[in-house]
Each structure stands twice: as structure tokens, then as C-alpha cells.
Chains A and B, each alone.
Chain A
Amino acid sequence: MKKRHFISRFHSEAQFNMTAMIDVVFLLIIFFMLICQFIGQENYRLLIPDNCAGAIIPNQADDGKITVSVFPTFSDRPKSSTGEVDFSELSVRYAIRSHIFDPFSEIYVNQPDRLLTDMARQITLQSRRRSNPLVYLRADRDLSYYQVQQALLALAEAGVTRLELAAFRSAQSDDGENRNYLRGQQ
């Protein structure tokens, strides 16, 4: 009898207390949900221009802002003999929030004019029919103006007039040489 009683006591004490764990897990999840800004879907790792002293730092994130990203499609930045990044012959991708447009896909190679139309339509859809949405343009600093211009033309076609160009106020130490800045976006 004594032995049986000891075994049952032992079993009851060895139970894992899940209540406290679940409490902590939920508390931490709520904490991170409150402090984080969920921008993962549009957080393409590109190098925006830096050292722009006139850049304005926003006080708070504007949820209604549409982020348009323009980024190169490779992980290594090829450099010319002079050490400068040469993007002139290389491809680019456009993203309106999480919708990626590849100008070198078959549909846009066959119908080049369709790219601007589709991008403009996507901007209109993302703006939820608001008349003049605010657009935040994140373009890689090593791309050419012509490559970024396609995004500007799409914005103009969508009737956007309020635009913000992404730029850092101070110099950034990361030069992108060893940075896998397109992680998961290839």
C-alpha cells in the first residue's frame, strides 16, 4: 500500500505545468505584436541612397502608405575594373508591396507595354480606391535612373502625385559587398 501511494504521488508531481508556459508564450507574442511593425512582406533588402542630409525622419509609420520597391535580381554586385558597381546591363524587379513584377518574364517580354499598365493597376488596387495615395519609393542606389523611371511612370499612370523617396540621412557603413541583401527573394 505504501509503495503504491508513493508511486501515485511521484507521478502527480512529475506532471509538466503547461499553464504558466502558455501564459508566458502568449504574453511574449502579444509583446512582440505590439512593438513590431510588420513590414516583412515588403522589406526587400536593397541599399537605398545614404548621406542625404535633407531627408525627413517620419515620426510614426503610416499604415496607408504604399511601398514600391525597385531592386536588382542578383545577390552579388558585379564591379567593373575601376571598382564601381555596373548595373547597366543587368535586370531589375519591381515590387508593389508584396506583388513582384519581373520585366524579364515571358509575358512582359512579349508585351512590354503591359508592365506599366499592370503596375499602375496594382497601385490603384493597393490604394483601396483612394484618390491620391501616398507612395514610398525604395529604389536601390546602384540602379540606373532609367530602371527606376519605369516605376515613376507607373506611378504617374496610376495618378499618384504624392511621393516619398527613401534615403538615409547619414552615411551607412554597409557597402553591400558581403551582404545577402536579397535573402529569399531570388
Chain B
Amino acid sequence: MILSGGKKHHVSASRRQANSRMRLSMAPMIDVVFLLLVFFLVASNFRSREGFLPVELPQQVVHSEIIELEPLILHLESQPDGTCLVQIGKTDSFVIQPQELGQDFSPLAQRFAAVLDQQGRSRDDPVKIVPSRQTKWDHVVKAYDALWQLDLHNIIFTIVE
């Protein structure tokens, strides 16, 4: 009886020991998880979600085609004080102030739409953006965006020397 009781005691103790050995050690796992998370957070270079404005560049054979309608020319010239001097066609030029630059080129869009109506041009007619050599890229893109929002998609960029 004593022997058998001793065997039972021994078996239950080994089971307990086996059960205790089978426990999943969570501490190192959590350590590794947090280390990896910190590593990726530090090593990652997050970038804001960017949009795009579609542009159709002319093909190289375009110079041989006959352009039927003279494009409406939009002159852009950035000034040292941050303003942008704008001239639509042969109309009087006007200045877009920096606070307006921070918002959008809506004054340009309004005036451009008025000139289009005045000259009886349609939205499919060509428009040529003529920046100066020192015009900021920011101003060029904002002007393009203003025209794009007017449903003007036939827009050409000029080459400056």
C-alpha cells in the first residue's frame, strides 16, 4: 500500500512538473514584439498621401502638325516678395498676393474663365502656360491646377531658354 501510494504521488508530481514546463513564456515574446514595433516605427519614413495632376506631354512629332487655333497664353512670373505676376493673353496683368497663394489660384481661375467667355473660346481650345525662367514650380502647378479645375485639359508648357 505504501509502495503503491508512493508511486501515485510520484506520477502526479511528474505530471505537475510537465504541466509547468509546457507553459508558454510570454515575457520574451512581448519584449521582442515591442522591440520590433519600436524598430519599425523609428526606421520607417512616413509620407503623407499625395495626389497628382494628370498631364499629357506632346509627342515629338507634334511640331509637324498644323495647330489650327492659336492657344490662349498665360504668363506667370514669380516676384521676389512671393507674389506672382499673371497675364492672360494680352489683357492687363494682375498680381496674386502671398495669402492667396497659400489658399489657391481662384482669382486666376475666375479671370481666366472670364477671358475665355470674352474671346468665345471653348474648354477644348489650347492653353499655353509661359512661365519665366525664375517662376517657382509651386506657382506653375497651382496655375495648372486652377486651369484643370476649369475643365481645361489641352494645356501646353512652354520651354524657356
Given A56-B51, A57-B51, the answer on whether A16 and B28 have CB atoms closer than 8 Å is yes
Q: Does the CB pair B144–A156 fall under 8 Å? A: no
Total A-B residue contacts, Cβ distance less than 8 Å: 157
Using C-beta atoms within 8 Å of the partner chain, give the interface range for chain A. Answer: 35 or more
Pairwise interchain contact B81-A82, C-beta atoms closer than 8 A? yes
Q: With A84-B80, A167-B51, A172-B48 given, is the CB distance from A142 to B137 under 8 Å?
A: yes
B142 neighbours in A (Cβ, 8 Å)? 49, 51-52
Contact A51 B136 (CB under 8 A): no
Residue of A nearest to B53 (CB): A165
Question: In the complex, what residues of A have CB within 8 A of residue B25's CB?
Answer: 17, 20
Residues of B24-58 contacting chain A, CB below 8 A:
24-25, 28-29, 32-33, 36-37, 40, 44-45, 47-58
- Whether A25 lies near B36 (C-beta < 8 A) is yes
Interface segment, B64-72, B89-97, B126-134? Answer: B126-134
Contact, CB under 8 Å: A54 / B29: no
Q: How far is the CA of A155 from the CA of B52 in the complex (A)?
A: 17
Contact check, B56 vs A161: say whether CB atoms are below 8 A apart.
yes
Q: Provide the bound-state CA to CA distance between A49 and B37, in Å.
A: 32
Q: Which stretch from A93-101, A103-111, A122-130, A143-151 is at the chain B interface?
A: A143-151
A82: min CB distance to chain B, Å: 5
Decide if the interface of chain B is mainly helix, strand, loop or mixed: mixed
A178 CB–B CB distance under 8 Å: no
B80 touches A80 (CB 8 A): yes
* Size band of the interface chain B makes with A: 35 or more
**Interface 1/0 per residue, A58-90 and B, CB below 8 Å:** 100000000000100000000010111010100
Are the CB atoms of B47 and A149 closer together than 8 Å? Answer: no
State A144–B131 Cα separation when bound (angstroms).
Answer: 10
Distance between Cα atoms of A161 and B132 in the complex (Å): 23
Tell me whether B134 and A21 are in contact (CB under 8 A): no
Flag if A145 contacts B28 (CB, 8 Å): no
Q: Is B119 an interface residue (CB 8 A)?
A: no
Take A24-B33, A52-B145, A82-B81 as given contacts and tell me if A145 and B53 are in contact as well, using a CB distance cutoff of 8 Å: no
Known A-B contacts: A52-B51, A143-B136. Give 8 more (CB < 8 A): A20-B29, A39-B47, A52-B104, A56-B52, A142-B136, A144-B133, A144-B135, A168-B50
Smallest CB-CB A-B distances: 3 pairs? A55-B51, A141-B138, A164-B52
Residues of B within 8 A of A (CB): 21, 24-25, 28-29, 32-33, 36-37, 40, 44-45, 47-60, 78, 80-82, 102-104, 131-138, 140-142, 144-146, 148-149, 157, 159-160
